[in-house]
């Protein structure tokens, strides 16, 4: 019995040794150098490979419509960074348009002809975005900004002959407003308006292209709206001075006499409102039970689409601004 037990003991030791050796030979995940691990055993690479099907995925962001064709620009990643892709037909394959090591943040066609599009690209991962022009016929790319400043999202004029944006060209700190013709050869520019701080952005052009709607972001709980005269660069505050309220501008009304915004003024949640430029209290367009997450006007400014976070689920709503009534929308699948 003793020798037999010893035999079992020897076999058991061999099994433990083989198992340990097998685990030791299997590739494991090497943690990042910034991580300090204590009492955590090595993680086999095979586990990560099995989990990859649930953790690795690709997203696509809608950048914009072609003005005359049923085509769109999207942003998606096939390699390491997000690049501009063209989808030339419904259900069609994606054609990659840009090939950079740095990611592209956004893109938009020239609003009427679509013979070129503009895009913003990061430089070296520092988020110092530059604005570029892409010629669709030739594939030529040219930089419109200086290559060193940080530049915000660009907004096309209604006529399609200019863009407005905020950039730090003057001192690499403050975001001033610039208006340029992207079809022309870039040359040294002076800002349309000098600003103080890094929270400024342009959000819309008035229907007659004479005025810009701009935002001065202070914090998540406070922002201010401004009107900027494109001819003179004069700024006029639209929201009350000293008011600690959050505003997210949507755009000018069709007649240019007011603006649509999302705001938490007079309530707990962000809701849609119409603000008359001449003054007066905001006119609220929906209830304040849930936050408005995003909103956009149609090109003719007669429809207002917005997304509401209803108990954690994003739901789409559409307002007929001419009739002042909501419009029913198709049921959109949820996941």
Main-chain phi, psi angles of 7, to 5 degrees: -60, -45
Tokens of 115: 């013979």
For the chain, the domain total comes to 1
| Domain membership flag for residue 239 | no
Q: Give the β-pairing of 283-284 and 163-167.
A: unpaired
Q: What residues make up the domain containing 292?
A: 248-335
| Domain membership flag for residue 267 | yes
| Domain membership flag for residue 310 | yes
Q: Are 152 and 131 spatial neighbours (Cβ–Cβ below 8 Å)?
A: no
pLDDT surpasses 80 at 208 = yes
| Domain membership flag for residue 68 | no
Distance, CA of 39 to CA of 17 (rounded, Å): 22
pLDDT in tens, 213-259: 999 999 999 999 999 999 999 999 999 999 999 999 999 999 999 99
| Domain membership flag for residue 204 | no
Q: Please state, as a whole number, how many other Cβ atoms lie within 10 Å of the Cβ of residue 319.
A: 21
| Domain membership flag for residue 85 | no
| Domain membership flag for residue 275 | yes
Share of residues in the chain with pLDDT > 70 (%)? 92
Least confident of 150-159, 183-192, 248-257: 183-192
pLDDT surpasses 90 at 10 = no
Distance, CA of 178 to CA of 155 (rounded, Å): 11
Q: Give the DSSP H/E element, type plus range, for residue 14.
A: helix 2-25
* pTM listed for this prediction: 0.83
| Domain membership flag for residue 223 | no
Q: Please state, as a whole number, how many other Cβ atoms lie within 10 Å of the Cβ of residue 91.
A: 5
Q: Please state, as a whole number, how many other Cβ atoms lie within 10 Å of the Cβ of residue 160.
A: 17
Burial pattern 163-196, b for ≥16 Cβ within 10 A else e, equals: bbbbbbbbeeebbbbbbbebeeeeeebebbbebe
What band does 189 get if pLDDT is binned at 50, 70 and 90? Answer: confident
DSSP labels, 136-193 = TTT--EEE-S-SSS-B---EE-SSSS-EEEEE-TTTSSS-EEEEE-TTSPP-----SB
Among the listed residues 238, 255, 235, the one whose alpha carbon sits nearest the alpha carbon of residue 247: 238
Distance, CA of 144 to CA of 164 (rounded, Å): 12
């Amino acid at each position: 019995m003793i020798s037999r037990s010893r035999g079992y003991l020897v076999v058991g030791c061999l099994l433990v040794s083989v198992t340990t050796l097998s685990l030791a030979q299997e590739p494991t995940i090497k943690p990042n150098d910034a991580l300090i691990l204590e009492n955590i055993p090595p993680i086999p690479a095979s586990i990560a490979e099995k989990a990859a099907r649930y953790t690795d995925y690709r997203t696509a962001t809608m950048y914009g419509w072609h003005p005359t064709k049923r085509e769109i620009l999207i942003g998606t990643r096939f390699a390491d960074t997000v690049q501009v892709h063209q989808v030339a037909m419904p259900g069609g394959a994606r054609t990659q348009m840009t090939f950079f090591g740095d990611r592209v943040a956004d893109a938009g066609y020239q609003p009427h002809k679509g013979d070129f599009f503009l895009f913003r690209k990061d430089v070296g991962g520092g988020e110092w975005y530059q604005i570029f022009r892409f010629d669709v016929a030739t594939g030529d790319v040219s930089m419109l900004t200086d290559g060193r400043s940080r530049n915000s999202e660009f907004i096309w004029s209604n006529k399609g002959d200019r863009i407005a944006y905020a950039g730090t060209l003057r001192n690499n700190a403050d975001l001033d407003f610039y208006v340029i013709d992207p079809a022309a050869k870039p040359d040294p520019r002076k800002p349309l308006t000098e600003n103080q701080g890094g929270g400024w952005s342009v959000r819309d052009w008035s229907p007659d292209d004479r005025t810009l709607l701009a935002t001065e972001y202070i914090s998540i709980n406070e922002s201010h709206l401004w009107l900027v005269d494109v001819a003179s660069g004069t700024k006029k505050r639209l929201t009350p001075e000293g008011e600690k309220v959050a505003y997210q501008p949507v755009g000018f009304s069709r007649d240019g006499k007011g603006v649509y915004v999302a705001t938490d003024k007079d309530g707990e949640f962000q809701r849609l409102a119409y603000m008359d430029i001449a003054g007066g209290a905001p006119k609220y367009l929906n209830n304040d039970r849930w936050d408005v997450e995003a909103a956009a006007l149609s090109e003719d400014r007669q429809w207002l689409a917005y997304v509401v976070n209803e108990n954690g689920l994003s739901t789409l709503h559409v307002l007929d601004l001419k009739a002042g009534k909501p419009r029913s929308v198709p049921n959109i699948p949820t996941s």
